[in-house]
Amino acid sequence: MLSLQDMLFTQGFGTRRICCGLVQRGLVELGESRQSCTDPDAPVEGAGLVFWVQGARWEYHERAYLLMHKPAGFECSQKPGAHPSVYTLLPGPLRQRGGGAAAGVQAVGRLDHDTTGLLLLSDDGKFIHRMTSPRHHVPKVYQVTVRHPLDERQVRRLCEGVVLDDDPVPVKAAACQIVDPHHLELTLTEGKYHQVKRMVAAVGNRVEALHRSAIGCIELPEELAPGQWRWLRSDEVTDLERKR
């Protein structure tokens, strides 16, 4: 059991003082019936709880696991440079969950500002580590548009391994196939800086557009438009952790 005030704090609605004020002002309602509660210390059961804050509906999540369709022109950084941050596409509470220096959800690996597609975000450090550590070999599938026509020699080199300029150890694709003369589907199980672009350059071609279509067993939903996000279902989280 949590107090109502503490529950709101864990879900990112501000400091405990701010959460207390929201409750006392009658701005928090509980359940689908939207029962008003003005006692900050009222005990609530988090699991399965539906609640409303200033008229917006929320569901309690002990941990946040999100799936976003990252649009082009956004950086996966809390402190972006020349482009806006993907975190601005999320509502405030998701950016403040838990409080402290590492508050809010974090991107599970980064995509370049001009890369689109599937991006996972979470406030679960162990989950983030499992998804990003090369030891766990989580496959990530990319749709790559290239400048010059593809050939089987390029595919063979990508699968056998290419040497990047800052690492003497060859990196190779887990899978690679030509979809059409200018479209390559590439699967990687590790993530290095600009890896897809540098691998394609190493075989004599150039990436013109890059889109991540899947991570592990999760594919980017067709109905999710660029900039939109949704919660991962519990079975999706379980499958991601299990099938790696």
Active site residues: 112
Measured between alpha carbons, how far is residue 157 from residues 21, 144, 212, 219 in Å? 61, 16, 21, 26
Nearest CA to 138 out of 64, 188, 212 is that of 188
Question: Which residues have C-beta within 8 Å of that of residue 64, sequence separation ≥ 6?
Answer: 94, 97, 105, 121, 122, 123, 124, 231
Is residue 149 classed as helix, strand or coil in its secondary structure? coil
Measured between alpha carbons, how far is residue 195 from residues 6, 17, 27, 84, 166 in Å? 42, 45, 48, 22, 11
Is residue 142 classed as helix, strand or coil in its secondary structure? strand
